[in-house]
Structure 1
Amino acid sequence: MRPEIMALLAAACWATASTFSVGPTQRLGAIGFSRLRMAFATLLLWTLALASGGWHSLHPSAMGLLAASGLIGIFIGDTALFACMNRLGPRRSGVLFACHALFSALLAWVWLGEVLWGWALFGSLMLMAGVMIAILWGKRSVESHLWEQTKGSLAVGVALGLTAALCQSLATLMLKPLMTTGIDPIAASAVRTSLALLAHLALWFSGWKPARAGGPITLRDAGWVFLGAAIAMVLGMTLILKALHEGQAGVVAIFSSVSPIVILPLLWLIYRRRPAFGAWIGASLAITGTALILSHP
């Protein structure tokens, strides 16, 4: 399977899981939700790694990079993303997080020497523009759904979303050289989530008040968190690491940024209203850009 297709499938996983996450995140708090999500993901990933024997591919020399990537991309990045979602909702947090595609393309050029030219560059620009247009102008003016309301400071929400995007970019680029060594993506994901979980537990045991905030965990919320962890952290993250093994980091990041496009029909089901005209324009641009990249490898 082409790395671009794997990145698209990962984006679909993240979009689907985000619809499960809004309610539990608001009830448990961003930190409490992320901690429980990491616990479920770590359990699932290590079970798969042990069952498949993928843990044999882990080498002590890779642990430092995996740990740093997990702390930056999962512990800081994911927590910032869910805190942003709590404030701005999934649609607006999506447009901020989609900036990781631009960050990744620029950083891949600086650090890895990856350069996009010709139709691939044009298609990438169309795809990123489509994602932004679909989210920014994808809401009807009369929409008053709870997910469209701003809670707290708008500036803080924007800062959290951009922090999540930057952390995602840095974590992805850190893993690119490592994934070319043949390390098992499931085992690599297990190490990353383990370090993120340890950081969350250390924060919780420190007694820091925000880390202990949030409501009680109900069986229903635990079920949604488990399902989201399985889809986003286990399946989605594994697909991204596989894509990094075979493709350019910048291109993989650009394709994985289409989550906001994928989430539009899901929000349609929730709102019971068709997306606005801008959403269709943005989605059309993104699809055209994707086709250009895939047809001009």
Structure 2
Amino acid sequence: MLNNHSLGIGAGLGAALLWALSADLYRLLGERISPMALNLYKGVYASAALVLAILATGQIAEAPPLWPMAMLALSGLVGIGVGDTAFFAALNALGPRRTVLIAEASAPAFTISIAWLWLGEGLGPGVLVGIGAITLGVTLVTTERPPSHEPHPHAMRGIAYALVAAACQGIGAVLTRGAFELADQSDQQISVLWSTLIRLAAGAVGLLAVMPLCGQQYLPRAVRNAATWRRILLAASIGTLGGLTLQQVSFKNTFAGPAQTVMAMTAVFVLLIAVARGEHVGLRGWLGTVIAVAGVALLFSDLK
């Protein structure tokens, strides 16, 4: 059932945590593999795993209705096919901190605006304050260290990629939420596994079609060894298969704007992982963490 908001916010937090855990793996893989190829590999692997999960759980006959399926496919083409490719390209150009700052702090604004215009999502003052607190906290966390610590030889191009990623995340989020609402209006349900599969498969098919036109090889020399594939599968299992499934749970159970905002907590989890590794974090990072966590608590209390 739609609008189980606590479940939606909790799932969004889980997705943010898994994306934070996989961030370093994707960053290291991005040093050797093009953004399009890396996006394709994670999509194909996760799609195959989801097909097996659907078969194992007996959901094969529960495919979504036509129009919600089309909306999910378009969401996958935009949010995953284009958005994730742009995000990986921004990582290569800007490094993780600036990319997360621009993409994750901007995506909620895109999502809330589009959801308000298209879905008519009206959010109360408490929810908007919570969203603002999370956005402020994430901004403080991602700007905690001096910019000179992170190389950025192609800054303008990286900023453009990060903004494209943010816009695509917003469009993908609203299309996904719209698909769930459309099915709910006709007393039909879309399973999380099916919705995740459709989005991932659509993104992968789009990349398969576009890569030759961009002069990209499906299997470049950099991926022709077992160690690289082990890293790809590990990153895809954590960040794509796990993270995207929880993202779908979030979009299914709460409004698109708060769901997308709480997923920006990825930056906070990245900071906490760094602390666990023994890295020093300054006052700004801790202040941002406290503000962001307070924002999440406000969402939990206002969205019931």
| Same fold at TM > 0.5 | yes
Show the 5 A alignment for 1:83-94: 83-94=89-100
Deviation at 1:167, TM superposition (A): 0.3
- 1:4 counterpart residue number: 9
Q: 1:218-246: CA deviations, max 9, x gaps?
A: 32221121112112222211112122222
1:157 lines up with 2:162 in the alignment: no
**Distance in 2, Cα, partners of 1:198 & 1:111:** 27
Change in 2 beyond 3 A, CA 1:214/1:254 = same
Show the 5 A alignment for 1:1-297: 2-58=7-63, 59-98=65-104, 99-136=106-143, 138-140=144-146, 144=149, 148-151=150-153, 153-180=154-181, 181=183, 182-206=189-213, 208-210=214-216, 215-217=221-223, 218-268=225-275, 272-297=278-303
Give the conservation status (yes or no) of the 8 Å contact 1:4–1:251.
yes
Give the conservation status (yes or no) of the 8 Å contact 1:28–1:213.
no
1:109 counterpart letter in structure 2: W
Deviation at 1:296, TM superposition (A): 2.7
- 2:186 counterpart residue number: none
**Distance in 1, Cα, partners of 2:294 & 2:83:** 30
Deviation at 1:2, TM superposition (A): 1.9
Deviation at 1:250, TM superposition (A): 1.0
Partner SS state of residue 32, structure 2: helix
Deviation at 1:116, TM superposition (A): 2.1
Moved more, 107-116 or 3-12: 107-116
Q: 1:142-197: CA deviations, max 9, x gaps?
A: x74xxx2113x211000000100110110110011222421111112112211221
Give the conservation status (yes or no) of the 8 Å contact 2:69–2:179.
no
**Distance in 1, Cα, partners of 2:219 & 2:101:** 27
Unaligned stretches of 5+ residues in structure 1: none
Partner SS state of residue 28, structure 1: coil
Deviation at 1:251, TM superposition (A): 1.1
- 2:3 counterpart residue number: none
Change in 2 beyond 3 A, CA 1:24/1:253 = same
Q: 1:108-167: CA deviations, max 9, x gaps?
A: 11111212223222122111111111112x1157x74xxx2113x211000000100110
Deviation at 1:211, TM superposition (A): 5.1
**Distance in 2, Cα, partners of 1:277 & 1:65:** 43
Deviation at 1:106, TM superposition (A): 1.6
Deviation at 1:280, TM superposition (A): 1.0
Give the conservation status (yes or no) of the 8 Å contact 1:203–1:211.
no
Give the conservation status (yes or no) of the 8 Å contact 1:127–1:289.
yes
1:285 counterpart letter in structure 2: I
**Distance in 2, Cα, partners of 1:40 & 1:76:** 18
Unaligned stretches of 5+ residues in structure 2: 1-5, 184-188
RMSD between aligned residues: 1.9
Deviation at 1:254, TM superposition (A): 1.1
Give the conservation status (yes or no) of the 8 Å contact 2:138–2:267.
yes
Give the conservation status (yes or no) of the 8 Å contact 1:29–1:213.
no
**Distance in 2, Cα, partners of 1:89 & 1:295:** 35
2:60 counterpart letter in structure 1: W
2:19 counterpart letter in structure 1: W
**Distance in 1, Cα, partners of 2:272 & 2:221:** 30
Q: How many residues align?
A: 289
Change in 2 beyond 3 A, CA 1:52/1:124 = same
Deviation at 1:273, TM superposition (A): 2.5
Give the conservation status (yes or no) of the 8 Å contact 2:68–2:180.
no
Change in 2 beyond 3 A, CA 1:108/1:80 = same
